[in-house]
Every structure is written in structure tokens, then in C-alpha cells.
Amino acid sequence: GSRFSSRKIGEGERKTFLTDGKRVVRDGGGIEPDVFVPAEKLSELEVALLDQNAFLDFAGTWAAEHPGRLDKGGAPVVDDALYKEFVSFVEGRGGAVRTRFDAALDDLSEAFKESKLAGLEGA
């Protein structure tokens, strides 16, 4: 068994408290955001880049190669030049960025080549 356990606490069981700054907080639900913002839907490319740690790997490499660039006092760091660096980084990693559809597309392409329809290409 687990040393730790939790259970869902019903809304009626939660207590409300005020912080010293008069902010309302409630117990029993962990940390809650002040404002709920719906998450943006990620594209297949973004999901693939996240799965392959491309953003994290690039950030680590870039920060090591550009010491001090992040200390801009809140000024935006990302610009067109940085985006181009990221694209070059991803392209230079070797191997294509694979999405969840690539395996199925590879299978479909192979099946097409093996079928009688392959001879109709360009006809």
C-alpha cells in the first residue's frame, strides 16, 4: 500500500479563509489559480517538438551559448533571429520531427507501393 492517500473533497466541505492581504483562499483543493485561462490547443508539430524535448534542449544550448542575454530586465528575448536559430537547431538534430500520424502514413505509403494502384501513378 501507499503511505500517502488522498480523497476528493466536496465543495461543501471546503473552508474559506482570507490572507493578510484579504485574498480569498480555500482549503482541500491544492493551489488554485486566481484566474482560469483555457489552455491553447497545440498543433501536431508543437506536440512532436515537446515529446522530443526540442524546446528544452534548445533552451539549454542557447542559454549556455548566450550568457547574459536573459538579463534584459523583462524585455522580450524571442525575436525573428531567435526563431531562425531554433529552426536551424531542430533541423540540425538529424532525423525528422515525427508526429503521431507518421507511422500510419508510412504504413499507408508502403501499402500503396505494394498494391496494383502504384502502377497508375502519373497515368
Higher pLDDT, 41 or 107: 41
pLDDT on residue 76: 63
Distance (Å, whole) CA 48 – CA 53:
9
User: How confident is the model over 10-60, as pLDDT tens digits?
Assistant: 878 888 888 898 888 888 777 777 788 998 999 888 988 998 899 999 999
Distance (Å, whole) CA 57 – CA 89:
9
**Residue 122 pLDDT > 60, yes or no?**
no
User: How confident is the model over 65-104, as pLDDT tens digits?
Assistant: 888 777 766 666 788 989 999 999 988 887 667 777 777 7
pTM: 0.51
